[in-house]
Amino acid sequence: MCSDPAVRRRSPQTLSGFFGLSRSGSNRFVNVSGRGRPLIDPSFPFLHGFQNVKIVNCCGGILLCHGMRAEGVEYIVCNPATEEIWAVLPVPDTHETPRPHAYRTICLCFDPIVPSRFAVFVIIQNGRDITIMEVYSSDTREWTSMSSPWGHKIVLYGLEPECFFLNSTLHSSAYDSRVETFDSEGNSINMVVIVDTSGDTWRTTRQPTKAKLNFFGHSQGRLHGMDIDNRNGCRISVWVLEDYASGQWTLKHTASVLELVGKPSRECDEYYTLVAIDPERNLIFLNGGVEPEQTLMSYDLDTQKLHVICTLEDYQRKIFRPYIPCFVEWPPSDAH
């Protein structure tokens, strides 16, 4: 990235690329155009003294990484655009010694509009319940533990749930694992669980009937929920949440990936995954296909055109994190 801070701050602060992993496990970065030198050096040379650095989460242009140094394993909150380390967090003992049958979802929460703080949420569940939540606050500079007020038997959807941070609240797809919450056709009733960074406000809102929205994003000021049904023509569904309280959703767009790529049917090992939604345009990003010819693509909801950005021969397909550069200073000049 350009070394002149003034030039960097004038650069468009919109979706610029994606962090990924090579098949060998090294960090990668691909520009949103698919061409040219990577905007960010994925080796993170500014993280002096850390080894085996892996990206855990990305939010608002800030990264949460996991790295090793002499003191042991630590979490690193850093800004790759300015090459600054914001904080080094101790890793709780529960992360070093995993509990049997426990799954952890780790989410960084940061909003460039409110740059004076960030939080890290660690949601631990056992497949039937969220057993505990651990939260790190940049205000207190320590971890706290709390139980989940979302309710008994509420669990996040999937083994690697997607979380999204918007309007100072964390969102994720979830369902109620109790049998009485299934509909007449045996489908689980899915929901979106929401918590603010202070841990004071916890809510749930229903997903559209029969929908399993497992990807969330912010576009044009609104929360979007999306899904690709790989068992049903690889059909994309894009929904917009109109009202949190009532759980009112509007179906914005549907399309078949198979039709877009000109295929009459899906091959047995062909599947697609959502990667991002553009924050300013009706444009979504997805990857997939058939090994080893999988690609990263963009799809314009207005023109209904699919564009191949690049091939993914040397990438782990599931690991793609959208990146928007952030140039706020840390700590903020008005911080107490």
Q: Quote the pLDDT of residue 3.
A: 47
* R_g (Cα) of the chain, nearest Å: 20
> For the whole model, what pTM was predicted?
0.89
Q: How many domains does the chain have?
A: 1
DSSP codes of every residue in 171-219: EEEEEE-SGGGB-TTS-B-EEEEEEETTS--EEEEEPPTT----EEEEE
**Is residue 225 situated within a structural domain?**
yes
Per-residue pLDDT tens, the chain, 336 aa: give them.
554 555 555 555 789 999 999 988 899 999 999 999 999 999 999 998 899 999 999 999 999 999 998 878 899 999 999 999 999 998 876 665 556 567 788 999 999 888 889 999 998 887 677 878 899 999 999 999 888 878 777 888 766 677 899 888 999 988 877 655 666 666 667 888 899 888 888 888 888 887 889 899 999 989 999 999 998 889 999 999 998 888 899 999 999 999 999 999 999 889 999 999 999 999 999 999 987 788 999 999 999 999 999 998 888 877 899 999 999 888 765 544
131 touches 145 (CB < 8 A): no
What's the CATH number where 42 sits? Answer: 2.120.10.30
The predicted pLDDT at position 336 comes to: 42
In a domain, 329, yes or no: no
Q: Is residue 331 part of a domain?
A: no
Is 243 among the domain residues?
yes
Question: Does a structural domain hold residue 334?
Answer: no
- 239 assigned to some structural domain: yes
Report how far residue 69's alpha carbon sits from residue 332's, in angstroms, rounded to the nearest whole number.
27
User: Does 312 reside within a domain?
Assistant: yes
**Looking at the domain assignment, is residue 229 inside a domain?**
yes
Which residue segment(s) compose the domain that 214 sits in? 5-323
